[in-house]
Structure 1
Amino acid sequence: MRILVTGATGFLGGVTARELVRHGHTVMGLGRNAARGAALEADGVRFMQADLRTPAEWLPALNGTDAVLHAAARSTLWGRWPDFMADNVTVSREVARACAARGLRLVHISTPSVYNAMRLSHHVPETTPVGPRFDSLYAHSKYLAELEVTLAHPEATMLRPRGIYGVGDTALMPRLTRALRAGRLPRLVRGEVHTELTHVRNVAHAARLALEHPAPGVFNITDGVPVPIWATLDALADALGVARPARYVPARLAENAARVLELAARLHPARPEPTLTAGGVRLLTRPMTLDLTRARERLGYAPVIGPQAGLAEVLMAVHA
């Protein structure tokens, strides 16, 4: 197949574009980073530099294409609503409309963050009603993007991978690493919190399955095995050679403090990202596992790497 990957210079997009090439597909990657684009081309991915906010820059790339993986997004817990709207909602709508108009298969990367405000915890299915409240601007924008994609391209596949990690991750592990090195991460629970993560190779595998075998609708994606968050943080601290989180601060107190920091940041002219966000506290203190039945049955999905091996790989890279 001839596949276009948006966000190819990002973590997930780059890994998936290379994975698709390894499986014999012809792949073009879109992105804004020319240096990373050159690295993609060295691995067999054709590259086009483009800003997705400007359709004239990327629409020509759809000529001669069979399918599109839309992996580009503003993926952060902090930012301005107009930017989330522009990068996550408007761009997704335009990509979906363009694919529908040309009869192209579309796989859209969404997020299970849309479930967070529901206070659900175990085996959460895709049929769970979400909204109208969301616990972050990011989650809200990704939900609106899902609605736009569904309206424009009813046959699209939407994947909701939880907590993407792996060597080369630019968000999850680096953020935790900075907090541990700065010594500013307290212990927010007395016991343990189990949640699910998704190795980037598992997301790439799910995306390839969806591109090769059309399956409209929404699919949860994870490693399939819960991991202990705080034991993992301890292991990360050990790999970094820094102190483990020890000073206990109740989660509710930390979340309230984070809200104060967020308010101060919003009032600041530059709106800098606060050192602690309420959404970040919730991710470390609330368990969640997702129901993968639909992905297993309709996509034929099974994780290609488990969390034990995946996290060991990450910790080894950190230690090196």
Structure 2
Amino acid sequence: MRILVTGATGFLGGVTAHELARRGHTVTGLGRDMEKSVALEAGGIEFVRADLRNPADWLPALDAADAVLHAAARSTLWGQWQDFVADNIVVSREIARACAERGLRLVHISTPSVYNATGLSRRVPESAPIGPRFDSPYARSKYLAELEVTAIHPEATLLRPRGIYGIGDTSIIPRLSRALRSGRLPRLVRGEVHTELTHVRNVAHAARLALEGVAPGIYNVTDGVAVPIWATLDALADALGVARPARYIPARLVENAARIMELAAHLHPAQPEPTLTASGVRLLTRPMTLDLTRARERLGYSPVIHPREGLAEVLAAARP
């Protein structure tokens, strides 16, 4: 199969592009990072430099494709709404339209962040009612992108992987590492909080199953096993050789302080990202597990990496 991967110079896009190529598919990767394109081409992946906001950069590549994996996104808890609209909603809509017009298979990477404001926490199904409130502009933009994609390309597969991590992660582990190294991260709960994460290779596995099969609709994707957030933070601190979070401050106080920091950042002309965001605090203090029944039954999904193995790999890489 000839597969076009957007965001191929990113974390998820790059890992999945290499996995698809190893499986014998002909892969073309779209991205903007010329330095990372070297690794793609070394893995037998054709690279096309493209700004996804400019369809002229990527539309010609669809003529040589059978399927598209849309992994590119503005994936951050902070930013200006117009950028989330341009990168997550408009780009997704245009890619879905182009795929539908050409009869191409489309797998779109979304996020279970859309569930964060629902109040649900255990075995959350894809059918959970979502909106109108969202806990971040990122979550709101990704949900609106889902609506665009499903309306334009009803046969598309949409994956909602939670908390993608692994070697090469540029978001979760680096952010937590910076917070631990700063020594300013308090202990926000007295007990433990269990949540699910998703190793990048598990997401790549789910994406491959969706590309090779015919399974339209929305699917939750995780490692399938809940992990203790604060025990994992302690283990990460040990690996980094820094102090574990010890001083307890109630999460509600920290979240309120984060809201004030966000307001101050919004009032600043440059709108710099604050060191703490309310949605970031909630990720460390609110449990969540997802129902994988649909992915198991319709995609044939079963995690290929257990979180015990995946987190051990990440912790080993974090050691000085």
TM-score by length of 2: 1.00
Cα displacement (A) at 1:126: 0.2
Cα displacement (A) at 1:270: 1.0
* SS of match in other structure, 1:118: coil
CA offset digits 1:144-174 (Å, max 9, x no partner): 0000001110000000000000010000100
Q: Provide the rounded CA distance (Å) in 2 between the counterparts of 1:111 and 1:286.
A: 17
Paired AA for residue 13 in structure 1: G
Q: Which residue is 2:179 aligned to? A: 179
Q: Which residue is 1:122 aligned to? A: 122
Q: Provide the rounded CA distance (Å) in 2 between the counterparts of 1:117 and 1:128.
A: 11
Cα displacement (A) at 1:79: 0.3
* SS of match in other structure, 2:131: coil
* SS of match in other structure, 2:117: helix
Cα displacement (A) at 1:202: 0.1
Q: Which residue is 1:78 aligned to? A: 78
Q: Is 1:301 aligned to 2:304, yes or no? A: no
Cα displacement (A) at 1:39: 1.3
Paired AA for residue 309 in structure 1: E
Q: CA RMSD in A?
A: 0.5
Q: Provide the rounded CA distance (Å) in 2 between the counterparts of 1:59 and 1:310.
A: 36
Paired AA for residue 120 in structure 2: L
Q: Which residue is 2:12 aligned to? A: 12
Q: Provide the rounded CA distance (Å) in 2 between the counterparts of 1:276 and 1:65.
A: 42
Q: Provide the rounded CA distance (Å) in 2 between the counterparts of 1:134 and 1:237.
A: 31
CA offset digits 1:199-227 (Å, max 9, x no partner): 00000000000000010000000000000
CA offset digits 1:263-288 (Å, max 9, x no partner): 00001111111011000000000000
Q: Which residue is 2:147 aligned to? A: 147
Q: Provide the rounded CA distance (Å) in 1 between the counterparts of 2:177 and 2:72.
A: 24
CA offset digits 1:8-45 (Å, max 9, x no partner): 00000000000000000000000000111121101111
Q: Provide the rounded CA distance (Å) in 1 between the counterparts of 2:315 and 2:215.
A: 35
User: What does 1:37-48 align with in structure 2 at a 5 Å threshold?
Assistant: 37-48=37-48
Cα displacement (A) at 1:139: 0.0
Q: Which residue is 1:28 aligned to? A: 28
Cα displacement (A) at 1:119: 1.4
* SS of match in other structure, 1:180: helix
Runs of 4+ in 1 over 4 A off after TM superposition: none
Cα displacement (A) at 1:184: 1.3
* SS of match in other structure, 1:296: helix
User: What does 1:180-195 align with in structure 2 at a 5 Å threshold?
Assistant: 180-195=180-195
User: What does 1:177-216 align with in structure 2 at a 5 Å threshold?
Assistant: 177-216=177-216
Percent of paired sites with the same residue:
79
CA offset digits 1:39-72 (Å, max 9, x no partner): 1101111100000000001000001210000000
User: What does 1:124-139 align with in structure 2 at a 5 Å threshold?
Assistant: 124-139=124-139
Q: Which residue is 2:240 aligned to? A: 240
Structure 2: any 5+ residue segments left out of the alignment? none
Paired AA for residue 84 in structure 2: F
Paired AA for residue 303 in structure 1: P
Paired AA for residue 56 in structure 2: A
Paired AA for residue 103 in structure 1: G
Q: Provide the rounded CA distance (Å) in 2 between the counterparts of 1:96 and 1:186.
A: 43
Q: Provide the rounded CA distance (Å) in 2 between the counterparts of 1:243 and 1:113.
A: 30
Q: Which residue is 2:265 aligned to? A: 265
Q: Which residue is 2:49 aligned to? A: 49
Cα displacement (A) at 1:252: 0.5
* SS of match in other structure, 1:108: strand
Q: Provide the rounded CA distance (Å) in 2 between the counterparts of 1:110 and 1:214.
A: 18
Paired AA for residue 105 in structure 1: R
CA offset digits 1:53-104 (Å, max 9, x no partner): 0000100000121000000000000000000000000000000000000000
TM-score by length of 1: 1.00
Q: Which residue is 1:3 aligned to? A: 3
* SS of match in other structure, 2:91: helix
* SS of match in other structure, 1:117: coil
Q: Provide the rounded CA distance (Å) in 1 between the counterparts of 2:215 and 2:132.
A: 27
- Matched positions, count: 320
Q: Which residue is 2:281 aligned to? A: 281
Q: Which residue is 2:159 aligned to? A: 159
Paired AA for residue 300 in structure 1: G
* SS of match in other structure, 1:134: coil
